[in-house]
Amino acid sequence: MGKLFNDIWESLLDNYNELVIFLPKLVIGVLIIISLWFIGNRSKRLIKNRLTNRIDDPLLASFLAQISKVFFVVLGLLLFLKTIGLGGAATSILATAGVSAFIIGFAFRDIGENFLAGIVLAFNRPFKVGDVIETVGIVGKVQGLSLREIHVKTFDGKDVYIPNGQILKNPLFNYTIDGFRRFDFNIGVDYFTDLPKACEIILQQMHQIDGILKETKAPDVTVSNFGEHKLYITVYFWINTFDPEVSVFLIQREAMNKCILALTKAGIKIPRNMFEIVNS
């Protein structure tokens, strides 16, 4: 019986000695993971605040901030395992994560491509919410940017969702990046028209329309084409898209009506179907 108690006592002493050696490592490991958890939270708030001021999509800002927190938490977990003597387990976790990431990334490569493209677009900022853009044959106003796609509303009211990867792979035209956009339309007149007089009448009308720029980007007219039975006069005008009170369609409609009415009153013949919009 005495030998049994001695064996038990020695076993307890051995475990106690191992526990004494292990406890400081455990405490240090816990402190490391707690510290990195707090650093991750702090980093998340800081990055989210910074990105919210730089990009238009709060979802993307929040997601990128969350990634920073996950990075510090994972780093803390790996350092914790390393500190308490489970470095092999940490290595296995990294290896498993790498293989899993490869498999998942291959299976969902399109999603990954669009996600990375969304990050590039968010920081490169070739457009912002409210800009009028054209890409992959689609023209419309940018409504938002998400992790996977860009939301564009066309001028006929359609909501189009374009994958971010397509934006990077194809040319993108931003018509309103500096706030100015040019429009033009054609008016067909008879070959015997007094062209200087017609152009002067048109310019007078264009300068009377509110919303059309008058100085740095003043309206202009030119004879642009010769048809079988008519001449085409092209009218150019600029608007400031940053002005919330400016409506492109109302301005264009007013410009068309005033020009046609003024030319008609001046006795200038405008045959039927001689009036067309070039850009809208």
Query: What CATH number is attached to the domain comprising 136?
Result: 2.30.30.60
Give me the mean pLDDT over the 156-173 stretch: 88
Predicted model pTM: 0.52
Give me the mean pLDDT over the 138-163 stretch: 86
Q: Is residue 120 included in any domain, yes or no?
A: no
| pLDDT level of residue 58 (50, 70, 90 thresholds) | low
Say how far apart CA 224 and CA 232 lie, in whole Å.
6
Same domain, 230 and 133: no
Same domain, 156 and 189: no
Q: Name the most confidently modeled range: 14-28, 30-44, 64-78.
A: 30-44
Q: Is residue 202 included in any domain, yes or no?
A: yes
Q: Is residue 197 included in any domain, yes or no?
A: yes
Same domain, 153 and 217: no
The reported pLDDT for the residue numbered 275 is: 45
Same domain, 207 and 167: no
Q: Is residue 82 included in any domain, yes or no?
A: yes
Listed residue (200, 150, 148, 192) closest to 174, CA to CA: 150
Helix ranges (H only) for 157-221 are 164-169, 195-206
Same domain, 160 and 185: no
The reported pLDDT for the residue numbered 161 is: 92
Contact 55, 125 (CB under 8 A): yes
Q: Pick 83 or 179 by higher pLDDT.
A: 179
Give me the mean pLDDT over the 221-229 stretch: 80
Coil, helix or strand for 248?
helix
Same domain, 15 and 103: yes
Diameter of the chain measured on Cα atoms: 130
Give the pLDDT confidence of 90-136 residue by residue, as tens digits: 555 555 555 444 444 444 456 667 777 777 776 677 887 788 889 98
| Domain CATH number, residue 90 | 1.10.287
Looking at the chain, the whole-number percentage of residues with pLDDT higher than 90 is 10
The reported pLDDT for the residue numbered 104 is: 44
Same domain, 162 and 75: no
Domain that holds residue 130: 126-174
| Domain CATH number, residue 272 | 3.30.70.100
State yes or no: pLDDT of 160 exceeds 90.
Answer: yes
Q: Name the most confidently modeled range: 32-36, 62-66, 133-137, 244-248.
A: 133-137
Number of structural domains in the chain: 3
Listed residue (149, 223, 228, 233) closest to 188, CA to CA: 233
Same domain, 52 and 101: yes
The order of strands in the sheet holding 231-240 is 220-226, 231-240, 180-189, 275-277
Q: Is residue 186 included in any domain, yes or no?
A: yes
Mean pLDDT score of the chain: 75
Same domain, 162 and 227: no
The order of strands in the sheet holding 138-145 is 159-163, 149-154, 138-145, 132-135, 172-174
Q: Is residue 216 included in any domain, yes or no?
A: yes
Give the pLDDT confidence of 168-224 residue by residue, as tens digits: 888 998 888 877 888 888 888 888 888 889 999 999 999 999 889 888 889 999 888
Same domain, 246 and 164: no
Q: Name the most confidently modeled range: 77-81, 87-91, 265-269.
A: 265-269
Q: Is residue 213 included in any domain, yes or no?
A: yes
Rounded alpha-carbon distances, angstroms, from residue 235 to 40, 84, 182, 201, 209: 59, 78, 10, 12, 14
Q: Is residue 112 included in any domain, yes or no?
A: no
Same domain, 163 and 184: no
Same domain, 154 and 187: no
